[in-house]
């Protein structure tokens, strides 16, 4: 029986894909194929709208690292090991380590912005093509870029910290200010690290060159302030009124004189509002994602290898419903042969599309072409012209691995 537990996705690189149709190997061919995909009615009984499923690859052009790309976390940092939900919830020491890393990464994260791929989705929404989006990303770029398109954030979001006892949420920016107040040595260190550019890279050697020391686990070492000294605040609601626990006893929320949570506490613990490995997706979110698939007639998959089960099963669900699937991803996608095995080899894109062209170049060029043709078009387009039709963001690799 399948569960919705978040598992460690496998790290092996998948074999390269077959491009479908073969003409979709070029930008102009991919644009033509995707127009066939969007403008032809899906098989009978299915609605004419498209649902989009996105992953980390879509945010690479915003400066965030993906997992399996050329500069992905799994390739650059070989010692990478994510934190599990049960470790975070049960261990004060694990939480110190998580929040210390998160403290250092948040400034860069909060300065990153949606890219041309996200804005192209907004435009596809305006063109009436895209009705719903499901994302595995926790960077909040979808709701920021296109608040008018309903977005299911499958794995949660970093913009809030959530109390594991009372479920109240707190803005991550406010939480950051609290962390700075409770950890003055880290606050000064962060200031220096930002100005040296040491946090702009995930490469341990490059970090070292810019004055940051890292330990064998890939953690940054702050001189004179080891992880064990890092402090984080309690949930203010639970602190002022300790809630009863599931076993009927009163929860313990204890803080030091500055308001930092003590290890004796068993309630009022704040955690990022994301699904960590070993945690399960809430039934509400799971249901919303299923509904988004079931209310559409096509699925567009962007920037994800579908390595997590929660994402793969949605694509499988779409396939089982008979929905045509288009995949735009650099590198292989889990189980993709099965998504395309029954396609007519001569079909132009209406039955399915598979291309490796980057989302931040392909999607804006597609929107440009669809607007120009005012609806349906089969015309080919010059690659170079299309390439200047969108604004390209300058990808600066940043420390981003917030799920770990
Ligand atoms: Zn609380």
pLDDT in tens, 129-154: 999 999 999 999 999 999 999 999 99
Same domain, 128 and 255: no
Q: What is the pLDDT of residues 204-230, one digit of tens each?
A: 777 777 777 766 666 677 888 888 999
* Cα 56 to ligand 1 centre (Å): 30
Same domain, 119 and 13: yes
> Residues of 84-104 as b/e, b for ≥16 C-beta within 10 angstroms?
bbebbeeeeebbbbbbbbbbb
Report DSSP state, residue 139: S
| Residue 302: its H or E element | strand 298-302
Q: How far apart are CA 271 and CA 95, in angstroms?
A: 8
| Residue 92: its H or E element | helix 92-111
Q: Domain for residue 72, yes or no?
A: no
pLDDT at residue 379 in the model: 37
* Cα 23 to ligand 1 centre (Å): 55
Same domain, 255 and 122: no
Q: How many CB atoms lie within 10 A of CB 2?
A: 8
Q: What is the pLDDT of residues 227-259, one digit of tens each?
A: 899 999 999 999 999 999 889 999 999 999 999
* Cα 239 to ligand 1 centre (Å): 7
pLDDT at residue 101 in the model: 87
pLDDT at residue 198 in the model: 77
235 is in an annotated binding site: yes
Q: Are 54 and 303 in contact (CB under 8 A)?
A: yes
* Cα 170 to ligand 1 centre (Å): 10
Q: Domain for residue 309, yes or no?
A: yes
| Number of independent structural domains in the chain | 2
163 is in an annotated binding site: yes
Give the residue among 7, 125, 116 at the shortest CA–CA distance from 61: 116
* Cα 371 to ligand 1 centre (Å): 49
Same domain, 149 and 174: no
Same domain, 90 and 13: no
Domain boundary among 256, 274, 292: 274
Domain that includes residue 379, residue range = 1-64+115-155+281-404
Give the residue among 383, 393, 404 at the shortest CA–CA distance from 31: 383
Same domain, 139 and 205: no
Give catalytic residue positions. 155
């Amino acid at each position: 029986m399948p569960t919705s537990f978040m598992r460690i996705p496998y790290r092996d690189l998948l074999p390269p894909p077959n491009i479908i149709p073969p003409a979709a190997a070029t930008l102009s061919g991919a644009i033509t194929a995707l127009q066939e995909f969007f403008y032809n009615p899906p098989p009978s009984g299915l609605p004419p709208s498209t649902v989009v499923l996105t992953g980390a690859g879509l945010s690479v052009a915003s400066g965030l690292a993906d997992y399996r790309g050329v500069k992905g976390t799994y390739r650059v940092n070989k010692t990478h090991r994510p934190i599990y939900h049960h470790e975070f919830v049960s261990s004060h020491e694990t939480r110190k380590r998580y929040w210390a890393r998160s403290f250092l990464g948040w400034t860069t994260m909060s300065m990153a912005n949606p890219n041309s791929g996200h804005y192209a989705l907004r435009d596809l929404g305006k063109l009436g093509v895209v009705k719903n989006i499901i994302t595995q990303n926790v960077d909040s770029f979808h709701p920021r870029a296109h608040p008018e398109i309903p977005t299911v954030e499958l794995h949660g979001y970093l913009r809030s910290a959530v109390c594991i006892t009372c479920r109240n949420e707190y803005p991550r920016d406010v939480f950051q200010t609290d962390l700075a107040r409770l950890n003055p040595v880290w606050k000064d260190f962060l200031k220096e690290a930002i100005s040296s550019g040491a946090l702009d890279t995930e490469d341990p050697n490059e970090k070292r060159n810019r004055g940051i020391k890292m330990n064998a686990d890939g953690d940054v070492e702050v001189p004179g302030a080891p992880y064990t000294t890092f402090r984080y605040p309690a949930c203010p609601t639970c602190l002022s009124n300790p809630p009863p626990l599931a076993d009927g006893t009163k929860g313990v929320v204890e803080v030091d004189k500055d308001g930092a949570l003590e290890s004796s506490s068993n309630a009022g613990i704040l955690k990022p509002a994301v699904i960590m490995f070993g945690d399960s997706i809430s039934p509400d979110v799971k249901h919303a994602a299923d509904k988004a698939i079931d209310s559409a007639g096509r699925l567009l998959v962007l920037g994800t290898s579908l390595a997590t089960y929660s994402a793969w099963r949605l694509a499988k669900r779409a396939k089982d419903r008979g929905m045509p699937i288009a995949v735009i991803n650099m590198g292989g996608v889990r189980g993709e042969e099965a998504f395309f095995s029954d396609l007519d080899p001569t079909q132009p894109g209406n039955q399915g599309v598979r291309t490796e062209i980057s989302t931040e170049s392909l999607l804006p060029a597609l929107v440009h072409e669809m607007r120009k043709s005012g609806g349906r078009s089969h015309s080919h387009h010059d690659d170079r012209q299309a390439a200047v039709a969108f604004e390209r963001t300058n990808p600066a690799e940043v420390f981003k691995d917030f799920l770990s």
